[in-house]
Structure 1
Amino acid sequence: MRHSQKAKAFTLVELLVVIAIIGILVGLLLPAVQAAREAARRMQCSNNLKQLGLAMHNYHDVYLKFPTGGLPVTLYRIGWPGRIFDFIEEGNRLDAMNSMSADALVTITPYRTLGAPHNGAHEIFANPIPAFACPSSPLGEQARSAPQINVQQGTLHYRANAGSANYGMVAGSDSGKTISTSGVIYPLSKTKFAHITDGTSSTLLIGEISDRQGWTDGMLNGWGGIQPWTWGYYYYGATSGWLQIDNKYVQYPINFPGSVTTNASPYRSAHPGGAQFSFSDGSTRFQSETMDLNILHALATRAQGEVISTP
């Protein structure tokens, strides 16, 4: 005799238990996946800073000094990012800029001007430069240029170290135009390795400013906020002072969320717990937001004789 046998199926309770187990496993796995993705993004950001630090060294080899943080030329000029193009495989971009206007780094102002020879909406300025953008930043690879022209240009998530608010300060016509000259890259700087007597491994070169971290829209898009690489500085005159856009001096802790002065916007990032920095010896290190502010000030100066130890 042939016996028929029904296939055994899940009961509703068993099905709910399986779904619950799968949900728990997904809940446990998702943070690990997100952590792995952030670790990869953080590594890419570190590689960006490594590339920029190496480019700065190569620039120094050729010109026997680091790029300056500003020249005495008025209006919204391109700063150190354009000066290292030849050393980050962006030489064609610089050649194209120079075809618009000879010596383009001091003769065009694409940040604020659409007309020739500035051509602020041109793809040369609109297309992102991967080495200038932190992949963890929620702000993307482009930043809004001046409100007057309101175009998107390639962003800059890394700012050079101009020094400390405790040393070498030069007053401008108001507090927003005061600068520090105690770092490596600042207005009119001509810094050489020989000038970094505190030690290149103990002196910041470039750090992250890649996240809004509580900034209002006005702060984010203001002169101290996250701007395109097309604007490095503004020179107001010998007695009036400067805006420092692609270089900043240290006055606030890392990831400081409050209102800040233009030239001293704090280093900040979307990486949990701190921000990434390139040091003057070419090394790249993550620095905690809980770092003692006095240590951060010491890292920002090139020749104050501090003895410090960093991770």
Structure 2
Amino acid sequence: MALLLPALGAAREASRRVQCTSHLHQIGVAMHNHHDVRRSLPAGWTFKPTAESAYGWAVPLLPFLEQPGLFSQIDVKKPIEDPSHDLARRTSLDMMLCPSDISEPTFMLYEGDEDEDDGHLATTAAIASDPPVALVELPTANYVGTFGTLEADDSVPAPLGDGAFLENKVTRFRDFSRGLTHTLLVGERTMAQVPSTWLGISLQGEDAAARIVGSALEGINNPFADEADHSSRHPGGVNFLWGDGHVSFVSNSVDLREYHQWSQLRIIR
């Protein structure tokens, strides 16, 4: 039994990792189909007209992920908490979840408050004795678009990222000066690090933008990482989708400088 159980655990994890790779590959195919039709990738997140809510990059991909019915249920001109979005907010998409992670189908997004000292968003409970205010329940996702080497939730509005998925801005494959093969598109993140979603966010939410995109900051699976960093429960690293559609496993020990370069669209000297 002492020999058998670790072997069974390793076999199960290998199977889950294959599933995770398959999910990312499906997302990659959808990205390329979207680019073929729309001549661009989706924006990282797009504000609704009154700038109360923002919808994530996965929403425009739904028709290319064999989810046209779900796509038709989402009206990006309405707030994310609108009753018409009840179905979407309850919909957990298997292809947006890593089977290795310990995650719940949905999570509650709480209100964040602006810290007057630095303009950052912090939890209500962190700066006041009042309990945090629940804003909206959202479907969980483990896959987040690459914002680059900056924090997407560092300020409101977000800083101009240097990755593929930005605030209210689309990118095109011609923008990938490093080449599609050498540029990251989407990576994993565990729910324990910060719950993320495929749908969208209330812009008043805590770490709102970080629920949709991720950043290459302190490294992979770094215990001291920012909430926006990438992580997984796969031993030793994280699966990433690259610009050309291939998926590969990037080790925790990746050279940080090289990792940062992969996360940027343009060559910075």
TM-score by length of 2: 0.81
TM-superposition CA deviations, 1:133-192 (whole Å, max 9, x none): 100001244333446457754211111011123xxx99x9x6576434311111132211
Identify if the C-alpha distance between structure 1 residues 269 and 176 changes in structure 2 by more than 3 Å, giving closer, same or farther: farther
TM-superposition CA deviations, 1:244-302 (whole Å, max 9, x none): 43113321201122262x6xx11000000111000000000000011111111000011
The gaps in structure 2 that reach 5 residues or longer are 111-131
Q: CA deviation at 1:77?
A: 1.9
**Secondary structure of the residue that 1:290 maps to in structure 2?**
coil
Q: Write 1 or 2 for the structure with the bigger share of strand.
A: 2
* Cα separation, 2, equivalents of 1:145 and 1:181: 23
The answer for the alignment partner of 1:51 in structure 2 is 26
Please say if residues 133 and 140 of structure 1, whose CA atoms lie closer than 8 Å, have aligned partners that are also in contact. no
Identity %: 27
Q: CA deviation at 1:106?
A: 3.6
Q: Specify which of 125, 145, 150 is matched with residue 160 of structure 1.
A: 145
TM-superposition CA deviations, 1:164-222 (whole Å, max 9, x none): 23xxx99x9x657643431111113221111111010100000001242xxxxxxx5xx
Q: Specify which of 183, 188, 191 is matched with residue 168 of structure 2.
A: 188
* Cα separation, 2, equivalents of 1:268 and 1:195: 27
Identify if the C-alpha distance between structure 1 residues 251 and 125 changes in structure 2 by more than 3 Å, giving closer, same or farther: same
Please say if residues 52 and 79 of structure 2, whose CA atoms lie closer than 8 Å, have aligned partners that are also in contact. no
The answer for the alignment partner of 1:15 in structure 2 is none
For residues 260-299 of structure 1, the aligned pairs below 5 Å read 260=226, 265-299=228-262
The answer for the alignment partner of 2:103 in structure 1 is 139
Q: CA deviation at 1:79?
A: 1.1
Identify if the C-alpha distance between structure 1 residues 180 and 235 changes in structure 2 by more than 3 Å, giving closer, same or farther: farther
Greater gyration radius? 1
The answer for the alignment partner of 2:115 in structure 1 is none
Q: CA deviation at 1:36?
A: 0.4
Please say if residues 184 and 242 of structure 2, whose CA atoms lie closer than 8 Å, have aligned partners that are also in contact. yes
Please say if residues 45 and 200 of structure 2, whose CA atoms lie closer than 8 Å, have aligned partners that are also in contact. no
**Secondary structure of the residue that 1:124 maps to in structure 2?**
helix
For residues 1-311 of structure 1, the aligned pairs below 5 Å read 26-73=1-48, 74-97=51-74, 104-109=75-80, 113=81, 116-117=83-84, 119=85, 122-146=86-110, 148-149=133-134, 153-165=138-150, 175=155, 178-212=158-192, 220=193, 225-232=194-201, 234=203, 243-258=209-224, 260=226, 265-304=228-267
Q: CA deviation at 1:90?
A: 1.0
**1:136 corresponds to which letter in structure 2?**
S
Identify if the C-alpha distance between structure 1 residues 291 and 234 changes in structure 2 by more than 3 Å, giving closer, same or farther: same
**Runs of 4+ with deviation above 4 angstroms:** 147-152, 174-178
Stretch of structure 1 that moved more, 285-294 or 63-72: 63-72
Identify if the C-alpha distance between structure 1 residues 191 and 232 changes in structure 2 by more than 3 Å, giving closer, same or farther: farther
TM-superposition CA deviations, 1:68-117 (whole Å, max 9, x none): 013354123221111100011111011123xxxxxx124231xxx3x534
Q: CA deviation at 1:235?
A: 8.8
Q: CA RMSD in A?
A: 2.7
Aligned length: 244
**1:57 corresponds to which letter in structure 2?**
H
Please say if residues 156 and 228 of structure 1, whose CA atoms lie closer than 8 Å, have aligned partners that are also in contact. yes
Q: Write 1 or 2 for the structure with the bigger share of helix.
A: 1
Identify if the C-alpha distance between structure 1 residues 105 and 124 changes in structure 2 by more than 3 Å, giving closer, same or farther: same
The gaps in structure 1 that reach 5 residues or longer are 1-25, 98-103, 213-219, 237-241, 307-311
